[in-house]
Structure 1
Amino acid sequence: MLKKVLMMGAMATTISMAAACGNSSSESGKDKTDTLVITDWGGAITEAREDSIFEPFEKEFGVKIQVESPTDYGKYKTMVESGNVTWDVANVGSMWAAQAIKQDMFEPIDYDIVSKEGLFPNIANEYYVGAEMFSTAIAYNTEAFPDGNHPKTWEEFWDIEKFPGVRALSKRPYDTIEAALLADGVKPENLYPLDIDRAFKSLDKLKSRTEIVWWEAGAQPVELLSSGTVVATSAWSGRITAAKKDGAPVDIEYNQALLNSEAWSIPKGSKNKELAMKFINFATRAEPQSAFSESIDYSPINEKAIELLPNNVKERLGQAPEIADKQVRVNEEYWAEHFEKINQRFQEWLLK
């Protein structure tokens, strides 16, 4: 499908060039077809977006979308600094986006075009708008912990006596520090600013009681759980729900899951700013958001979209009311400011 979109974008460009060399009606723009270049991560998430967002937008606005993937932060920065910007919209991690604001990488969002109606609080920033949300949650092997007898909080995840077995955690401080503090009794509303000393003391406790396997890619937690290498791990929710659907002996606990987001941004110097704003407005509407979340396990950033989802999908995404209220929103602006310093200490701690 991605190949099809790329081919259609290329055809649109060719047709426009040919028309420019042809009759005067084409020169006046009558037959011109606009092309919007969108950079996304590729794979399943882009495929899901094609049917739910890209193609409906093309039909409604009479334009062609050309997709490039994956998002490359180095290329993003080079394009903006050189002034040779070929992307119009890019999906980026919200923490990176918060850092990139200081480097003057984005066009400001025009909220006369982009509506905030229905969007979760703090999801619409001056320079970027949320695209989807995902959770870093407690995942576990259902053979090791059957019948709902699994760790249901990070404190229980740390409790090796009650829930014995090897653990796995992300080999990055982002999310892992929050998990360590929640395990040590910090209330979600009191997480930020993060007490880094307390977090490392909490990690020391877990490290002294059991082996910790450190994962670096989203597919690893599923592999570690399915093979029995670990009995519990932090994991990206969509990876676990997909594996469970395929019959793997895994499941997820959304209580105290750490909620992250990705965002739509417009590179500074985009040649299609107005159309890019219209796309972001469309992509964050309730209906496209709902259709997207039905086809892939990422949560909507529009509250009204959640209302449109079937109950089984809400539960799978952790967005049923009784589940959603138990999740903890990660403060991406805090991490944008402090990531480098905390990460250096974290990587040094790993070597001890």
Structure 2
Amino acid sequence: MDLAAENQRLQGLIDRLVARIDDNQRIAQRFQAFEFQLLEAASLPELFDVLIDQAPRHFQLQAVSLVLFDKDYVLAQLFDALNLKRWLPKVQLRHREEFFEQLYGQRQQPVLGEVDTLSLGRLFPGAGPIGSCALLPLRTQGRLQGSLHLASEQPERFTPDKAADFLQHLGAILALCIEHCVAREQLRREGRQDPLTKVGNRAAFEQDLPLELARAERNHQPVSCFFVDLDHFKKINDNFGHSVGDVCLREVAAVLQKELRKTDVLARFGGEEFVVLLPVCDAEQAMETAQRVSEAIATMRVETSQGQPVPLTASIGVCSWEPRKHKIPVEALAEALLRQADAAMYLVKKAGRNGVRWQPLVVQ
């Protein structure tokens, strides 16, 4: 036996093993660093930013996509409320389990390797050339959360013979993060929501108002605000009962949501009063919207359980601001808009109720 040749062969084997250990250690460190980023995400936007925007660079991937299981349409509501649509179609929602069953079958294990052309188009819309993929089912305590998809240009990057330990661990961490972020977003939303009408509450409006005004100032866009106060609401409660009054408030909130744009900010300000902020909306547009709301409330039909109609009208006060005409601090502007819209609403009350009035912006 040639001992020198054997030693050289063994040394080569040891070098390859050491190199593989070093590679695995680097991979483990990279995965660990990424998992810490996921765990630190305090909201769905932060989580999507880490996962969809940062992961391709972190792992040198061609594309990353996520499909979330949304059986009860909870996520669909959060997507609208949090304006998460910018991540579409890289983040998608599915309301039935069939999609996930088609990907993983009964095994519910990661799938590594090539994926058919149809699936590539569904999982990685708009992505460049893809050589191999890793598809990871996301589950927490047996509950399906969704599916994560990683794509590489390299055919050898993800192959069926590769170990999937790191990927399975990543999938478990991500499923946990999704569950926690959704729970946190729901709590935040409930804390900003009026429990009776399911629109925003006063605290939420007062948080959003300066942000919207600052945005309008940056973009040199007009903003309008109006108050909606239901007429003779105490008589409704006294004559028909508070339960009927509650029905009126819910129905008015529904009418407002129908007549307003998705970008408008609606809140129940207190009692029988609602407030609306209309970004990118001048005085003329605001008056048209307020008049439409007034007519919709006056023509809506609310009845008691005995079929007795409940008369319902509203007094609406409007105020608008254009950055080019008024240069004032946001805090003073917020206070002035609300004060003048409120004053306009009281002028409608004095004039006999059931109407709309505009009041110019006055900064004291």
TM class, shorter-length? under 0.3
- Rg larger in structure: 2
| TM score, norm. by length of structure 2 | 0.22
Larger helix fraction of residues: 2
